[in-house]
Structure 1
Amino acid sequence: MPPPMKNVTPGRSGTDWTLTYGLIAVVVIGVIALYSSSAVVPPGYRGVSITLGSVSPDMRPEGFSLKKPFIEDIRFMEIRQQTQSGKATCFSSDMQTVDIAFNIMYRVPENKVVTLFKDYSGDPYYSLIEPRVQETLKQVTAERRAEDLVRNREAVKTEVLRKLKINIGELLFVEDLVVANIDLSDELEKAIEMKVVREQEALAKKFELEKAQKEGEITLVTAKAESEAMQLRGNAIKASPEVVQLEIIKKWDGRSPQVVSLGAGAAPGATILLPATK
């Protein structure tokens, strides 16, 4: 009697599995190669291409860009205006400690992206701007007294910004510098406040003195004018007595006044004007 038949499930051979795995590997490698062969530079940024450690002199604009898969990398650098804050401890010309807090606005020129990436490590602010801001602030404050720094903050800002632009040149555009705060010691701040109060009081007293002088001058001019006017009227009357008579006639109300002589003992020509009769 022949042996019973066994159920044999048909399956794939080793060659079939090898082809399947190989196909999957090719697809995965293709996807990775496709992904690594392109890059998208964000808005406000520019790309720097690096191939096997060599930096390309050509900048990549924003948007979609092709690259060599696996061997080329694209780094991004922002060209929009940026703001950084910082502090500097300086000394004034009268050897006072001055702490200055500042905000600086800057941006990277588009044509300097590759140069900055190649020649300056890291963020351009920390490698280029901040050291020069610190140095320039110390130079400017060393030329002024602490009190003048507080009173002329805008002049300090203008001078620092001017020198900073010269020191940095065209590598970066320094748009503006804001001196947020100038901090002195408590004792010096109190001394400056007291000095300001005394100066204000002195100005108030000076104003009152000038006001009194002006009022005195006005009074003197008015009195002199009245005196000269009276003198002119007196001279006019002496020169033309008929003027008095003319004024009397103009003001006469039609009634006859009564004039009585005071007699021989009185001064010559002395008379009394009695009320007029109706």
Structure 2
Amino acid sequence: MFKKLALVAVVLSTTACTWVDPGHVGLRVDLLGSDKGSIETLPNGRYWEGLNEKIYQFPTFQQNQAYKVSMQVEGVQAIANIGVRYRLERDMVSTVFTTYRKGMDELNSVVIKMAIADAGASIASTMRADDLISAGKEKALRAMEERVRKSFEGTGIVIENLYWAGSIENLPDELTTAVNAKIQAQQDAITRHNQLETEKGQQLIEKVKADTAAYSVTAAAAAEAEAIRIKGKALSENPAVIELEWINKWNGVQPQTMLGDSSKASLMIAR
């Protein structure tokens, strides 16, 4: 009885109980014997890990990692803080393992990190030093993202995006000062341009107002002149109208001064 218990204890000491958690895919890998290297995919559940076996767990939900990546740009040895979001395709977890022979810890600390570092070194050779501070760094990050994504095509690792996980470190003060001065100059130029455009617009508005006022005066004068011309023509063609106008305006009082045929004027005193 004691020997049987001892044998059971020995067997248990060489095995372990492992859980494959929800949201994960498990891989049972044979380490020795004729089946060495063979892989069995395990769904969620509890499994015994044998003496010559190792069970790996791979999450299939989004992973988020951040790395410090060295980038040498025009003699500046900068340290970029770059984050990555990626996931493993559930149906290709075994492909991930056979490609890299790494568990999740090593995927994060070695495989993903090296891919980003290689992309950073390659893209850095196409950058200017001021790109590390100006808007050019976003363009560089997108180029890195595309390069990293392509490097994992067909492996089961899907790169969703790269992002800046912090500011770029180890930048010379003179570079920062120069770039900030350049950015300020560009902003000042844009502000001045907008001011000039505003002034031009206001001048145009004032000109339109002046032209409108001048046109109104000219149009009114032309209308008045035309009215006088038409009235004068009508009176010349109808002299009786003048007499009628005179009659309509007479107040019934005889004229106090009358000019006769002689050169002397006679004074009429109204009663």
What is the TM-score when the length of structure 2 is the normalising length? 0.69
Amino acid of the structure 2 residue aligned with 1:177: L
Task: Judge conservation of contact 1:129–1:168 (CA < 8 Å) in 2.
Answer: no
Residue 116 of structure 1: how far off its partner (Å): 4.0
Question: Aligned partners of 2:175 and 2:123: how far apart in 1?
Answer: 20
Amino acid at match of 1:65: Y
Structure 1 unaligned regions, length at least 5: 1-22, 245-278
Amino acid at match of 2:83: N
Matched residue, 1:78: 58
- Residue 88 in 1 paired to residue 85 in 2? no
Match of 1:98 in 2: 78
Match of 1:143, SS state, is coil
Question: Is the contact made by 1:38 and 1:66 (CA closer than 8 Å) also made in structure 2?
Answer: yes
Instruction: Determine the C-alpha separation between the residues in 2 that align with 1:138 and 1:57.
Output: 35
Aligned positions of 1:47-62 closer than 5 A: 47-52=27-32, 54-62=36-44
Structure 2 CA distance for partners of 1:235 and 1:225, relative to 1, 3 Å: same
Aligned-pair CA distance for 1:178 = 1.5
1:252 matched to which residue of 2? none
3-state SS, counterpart of residue 241 of structure 1: helix
Partner of 1:215: 202
Query: What amino acid sits opposite 1:77 in the alignment?
Result: Q
Given the alignment, which residue of 184, 208, 212 partners 1:197?
184
8 Å CA contact 2:68–2:81 kept in 1: the answer is yes
Corresponding residue for 1:251? none
Aligned residues: 219
Q: Where do 1:66-145 residues align within 5 Å?
A: 70=51, 72-80=52-60, 81-92=62-73, 94-122=74-102, 123-145=106-128
Q: Indicate the RMSD between aligned Cα atoms, in angstroms.
A: 2.8
The answer to which of 95-104 and 232-241 deviates more is 95-104
Deviation at 1:118, TM superposition (A): 4.4
Over 3 Å counting, the alpha-carbon distance change for 1:78 and 1:243 in structure 2 is farther
Decide whether aligned partners of structure 1 residues 48 and 112 sit closer, same or farther in structure 2, where only a CA change above 3 A counts: farther
Q: 1:88 to 1:242 in 2, by over 3 A?
A: same
The answer to whether the aligner puts 1:168 opposite 2:152 as a matched pair is yes
Q: Which residue of structure 2 lines up, in the alignment, with residue 270 of structure 1?
A: none
Partner of 2:47: 65
Which 10-residue stretch deviates more, 82-91 or 163-172? Answer: 82-91
Partner of 2:211: 224
Cα distance change of structure 1 residues 139 and 51 upon mapping to structure 2, 3 Å threshold: closer
Note the alpha carbon deviations across 1:179-216, whole angstroms, 9 max, x for none.
22234321101111111222222222222222222222
**TM-score between both structures, scaled by the size of structure 1:** 0.68
Residue 143 to residue 221, structure 1, CA distance change in 2 (3 Å): same
Give % identity: 18
Q: Which one of the candidate residues 135, 140, 146 is aligned to 1:156?
A: 140
In the aligned structure 2, how far is the partner of 1:78 from the partner of 1:103? 20
Residues 243, 218 of structure 1: CA spacing in aligned structure 2 closer, same or farther, 3 A cutoff?
farther
Cα distance change of structure 1 residues 46 and 189 upon mapping to structure 2, 3 Å threshold: same
- Residue identity opposite 1:40 in structure 2: T
In structure 2, runs of 5+ residues without a counterpart are 232-271
Q: Which residue of 2 aligns with 1:39?
A: 17
Q: In the TM superposition, what is the alpha-carbon distance from 1:51 to its structure 2 partner?
A: 4.8
The one-character-per-residue Cα deviations of 1:20-72 (angstroms, maximum 9, x if unpaired) are: xxx112023225436756733331351323152512232222312356x54x3
Matched AA of 1:218: I
CA contact (8 A) 2:116 2:148 kept: yes
State the alpha-carbon separation in 1 of the partners of residues 86 and 116 from structure 2: 12
Contact 2:27 2:40 in 1 (8 A): no
Q: Residue 239 in 1 paired to residue 222 in 2?
A: no
